[in-house]
Structure 1
Amino acid sequence: MTQPNQPNSPWPQTPWGDDGPAAGRRALQDPAQPPRPDDQPRSQDTPSRAPGDRSPRSHAWPPGPQQQPQQPAPPRQGAPWQPGPQQPRHVAPGPVPHRQPSPPDPSPTPSPRHGFDQAPTTPVGEPDPPPPSPFGPPSRQPQRPTAEPAARRGLFDRIADAFGGGRRRREEEEAQARALADQRAAEQRRREAEAAAAREERRRVIDTPVDHHLITVSSLKGGITKTTIVLAIGTALALHRRDLVLAIDGNAHRGTLARRLGEETGLTVRDLVADAEDVRTAKDFRRFTSQAASRFEVLASEPNPAEAQGFSAEEYATVLDIAKTFRSVIMTDTGTDLTLPLMSEVYGNTDTLVVPATTAHDGADLAWETLDWWEEHADPALVRNAIVAITQIEPFSLPPAEQMPAERIAELRAAFIRRQRQREAELTERFAGRVGEVIFVPYDPSLHVGGLFAWDRLSPETAAAYEDLAYAVARRFAARD
């Protein structure tokens, strides 16, 4: 017999009365049928039913004097099932197949009485539940838990959902942050790769083989970074070329080119002219030059201004002829006096003209006047192909104040950068239509103090600007060679 209180049983349940299951069945019987004497004990001779036997059971009980045995009613077709006097049948042990429950009984069901539970009955035509096992109740197949209604969920569940949603949001935010960081890293790697490729291209062009190329750095006035530009271009060329680069100091007013590079010898251009017949090898020529760690060489000018004034065009031509024998790229620092006799020889021995300037108004005006002078006394094509190197001389500085918030400092820096960009745009527009190229060099504190020129002390931005300047010069090697 099916155990009571089985909520998953597919058979309808009938209430048990105070008199036991028989009284419950009598309460559900049709009032028109005579009562069934189920309360009488069964005969002990009733044969037990073998497992798996589905033959109709013969109900053997001793009929009373007033009652006759009740025959089971046949199942009704096409109508809802009604509880009848059919006794439960047993089937072979095993799990009960899942099925939809039968339609409920439309007749009113008596309320269960105190002390008894509802007992299920087996509808006609349905398989009987498994018999009770001596080893315990039959095992059930685990059922998938159903979602609990939101109204019946407790506070703990709602808190867990809230924390779970926050965790999911944090995971999504972390995933987005990782994706953004990966995108920025990829963009940074792309920019670094492009910068590396640009540097490699610059160095390849700088190392272009050339027979001879003469570069002149000229200005009408000193103090506008002329000597610094000579040292920077020469060092950048020497660092990336396989041959040697030489600079001749043609300043008649005690030039400082060799001193700022680092003097190795006291010999000058006048000594080279005097010993010109004895200079037959590169080793002989090397005795007259000072060389830096970058292999950039300088041939110093005469320290005595009186003797420097007498440096003629023929002497300059002699020095240039000797230098061409042992060096391919030769630079000349003309000084500020462009009326000297040697300048006539310089004008005719220039392949590339570089004019220094500064962002100050007078520095830009002097560069413009220098171009006018060269355009009048030399080949105008040199001016059209010239390079103007404009150096930023104004550093960013804060006004005197004891305390200043970081936001105010950022605003001042942004305003300084805007003024700088505006000034660069003005100078570019002014010189671009007259010369071949305009290159800006940022302010560098290591150059502001003067002294020895040290490439390794330059800021990365300044070193890159000087490499751009040397690259612009090297692009003109093939055009003039």
Structure 2
Amino acid sequence: MPSVTPDGNDTASDDADRGVLETSTGVDATGIGIVGGATAQVDVTLPTPRDEDDLDDDGVVLDDDATVVADAVLVMDAGVVTAEEVIEPATAIVATASVAKDGHERLRPRTSEVALQSRRLGDFEAGRESSDLLTADRLLDPAHAVRPEPEGAWRHLLYTLSGRRVNLGDSKRARARKELDRRIAAPLQGGAKFVPVLSRKGGVGKTTITMLLGMALADAREDRVIAVDANPDRGTLADRIGRSSGRTVRDLVRAQDDVRGFNDISDIVARDHTRLDILASDADPRVSEAFNDDDYRSVAEVAAHFYSVVLTDTGTGIVHSVMNATLDRADVVVVVAGLSVDEARLASETLTWLETNGFADLVRRAVVVLNTARPGAAFVRADELEAHFGSRVRTVVRVPYDPHIASGSAITFRDLQAQTRAAARQLAATLVEGLRQQAAA
């Protein structure tokens, strides 16, 4: 029923003139009258409610304190209600102004510009999605997702006996191993990374550490890893995998100009079960000319095109024909120290020689490996050695004694003791992190 104001005017007719709806004509439209110094009609098209998930997908945020007032006239005693105060910003509806016949401004939403959460920049057709939005996280129901088989003896037994219904996840050891593998597999920026393995004394396990490091890298990484035997004399790196291609670094030096693809390299290198490639040294005693720095540069140039990490098993000592070329290409060096007084001193003197011959930066980034080559108690206190080398280099890693390695036969990574594999992975993870830090610097 229309009401009469003190001046005798019918408010219903005034409301009609001002564009205020007397009643709502449908649930799809809401009329909001704004009375004050100026009057505006705001028509807001409300989305048809479906369920809470659909509203979330469309980018509509529902607040517990928010109330939708439909078919209401908002009157303020002081001031004017603005469109920004009435229209919820989360609906992302942009209003346009139009002038009615009575001279009043009316705001109408441009519903075609409603922002959908699923749209990409540059997509102007509402409701259409690009294929990259069909992700596994969006489509797969977590309740029905298939978890991988757990690692760990009793956990896997329980998983099997329960008909694969009870999955407690991996054991603590398995989780630690997978975390190390994740660190090892981290991407390396830039070109190939060169890592020589050094020692000034024979018999400390330099070739063994080269093999363990290479196997741990190749086992966890997706890119290619190669270990080059750069011993000027007879090296034994290829002997530690039990496989031989019958080719050596000398063959690669001769064929360097004819290498067109990786197939040309794969005919020369040998590969172990972890996908580590080995380039053997020259074992022919009739060869009169030793492998020299020019030969190494030729091999390194070819290897840099096809491998991400190039390990170099250097000869015994520091001053020999290949060392200068090896250090010139080095990104990080690994120095091997045995657990005896003389072996520890020679390793420390190796660092001093590098510092005094222009490679102090390599010493700061170096990794020292304390290799236990003999069973039983060590001759020296390993904690003291670790403290000494830790004051000079970035990281110190201990590798335990392993009878599988001590036998001198071919090394199979999966046959090593668990603590030996863990130490090799720790060395590989430390190396990769050092290479990544260097690239970021």
Q: Shorter-chain TM-score: what band?
A: 0.5 to 0.7
Matching of residues 34-113 of structure 1 within 5 Å: none
Cross-structure match for 2:257: 277
Matched, 1:457 2:415: yes
Equivalent in the alignment of 2:402: 444
Instruction: Tell me, yes or no, if structure 1 residue 332 matches structure 2 residue 312.
Output: yes
* 1-structure distance, mates of 2:282, 2:373: 30
Distance 1:386 1:232, change over 3 A: same
Residue 352 of structure 2 corresponds to residue 372 of structure 1: yes
- 1:294 positional shift: 0.7
Paired with 1:286 and 1:244, the residues of 2 have a C-alpha distance of 12
Aligned partner letter, 2:185: D
Counterpart of 1:246 (choices 226, 230, 233) is 226
The answer for the alignment partner of 2:389 in structure 1 is 431
Q: How does 1:168-247 map to 2 (within 5 A)?
A: 195-210=173-188, 211-247=191-227
Aligned residues: 270
The yes-or-no answer on 1:320 pairing with 2:278 is no
Matched with 2:58 is: none
Cα drift, residue 193 of structure 1: 5.3
CA distance in 2, matches of 1:447, 1:264: 19
In the alignment, what sits opposite 2:425?
467
Are the counterparts in 2 of residues 252 and 309 from structure 1 also a CA contact under 8 Å?
no
Cα distance in 1, alignment partners of residues 288 and 431 from structure 2: 29
CA distance in 2, matches of 1:326, 1:434: 33
The CA distance in 1 between the partners of 2:324 and 2:340, in whole Å, is 30
SS in 1 for 2:333: strand
Contact (CA 8 Å) 1:213, 1:480: kept in 2 or not? no
The one-letter code sitting in structure 1 at the alignment partner of 2:313 is D
User: 1:352 aligns to what SS in structure 2?
Assistant: coil
Deviation at 1:395, TM superposition (A): 2.2
SS of 2:319 mapped into structure 1: coil
Q: 1:294 and 1:278, CA in 2 relative to 1: closer, same or farther beyond 3 A?
A: same
Change in 2 beyond 3 A, CA 1:393/1:300 = closer
Give the direction of change, closer, same or farther, for the CA distance of 1:235–1:220 in structure 2 (3 Å limit). Answer: same
State whether residues 230 and 315 of structure 2, in contact with CA within 8 Å, keep that contact through their aligned partners in structure 1: yes
Structure 1 residues 338 and 394 mapped into 2: Cα distance closer, same or farther (>3 Å)? closer
- Per the alignment, do residues 312 and 252 of structure 1 end up closer, same or farther by CA in structure 2, a change over 3 Å counting? closer
Shift of the 393–318 alpha-carbon distance from structure 1 to 2, 3 Å rule, reads closer
| Shift of residue 309, structure 1, vs aligned partner | 5.0
In 2, the alpha carbon distance for the partners of 1:471 and 1:271 equals 32
* Cα offset, 1:340, TM superposition: 2.2
Contact 2:194 2:310 in 1 (8 A): yes
* 8 Å contact kept, 1:441–1:462: yes
Q: CA deviation at 1:299?
A: 0.6
RMSD over aligned Cα atoms: 2.2
Matched, 1:476 2:434: yes
* 1:318 Cα offset (Å): 1.1
Shift of 1:477: 2.4
Return the alpha-carbon distance in structure 2 between the equivalents of residues 268 and 347 of structure 1.
21
**Pair 308,356 (structure 1): closer, same or farther in 2 beyond 3 Å:** farther
Q: Indicate if the aligned counterparts of 1:389 and 1:441 stay in contact, CA closer than 8 A.
A: yes
From the CA coordinates, give the structure whose radius of gyration is larger. Answer: 1
What is the one-letter code of the residue matched to 2:249?
A: V
Q: Structure 1: state its 5+ residue gaps.
A: 1-189, 397-415
Could you tell me which runs of 5 or more consecutive residues in structure 2 were left unpaired when the two chains were aligned: 1-167
Name the aligned partner's letter for residue 226 of structure 2: L
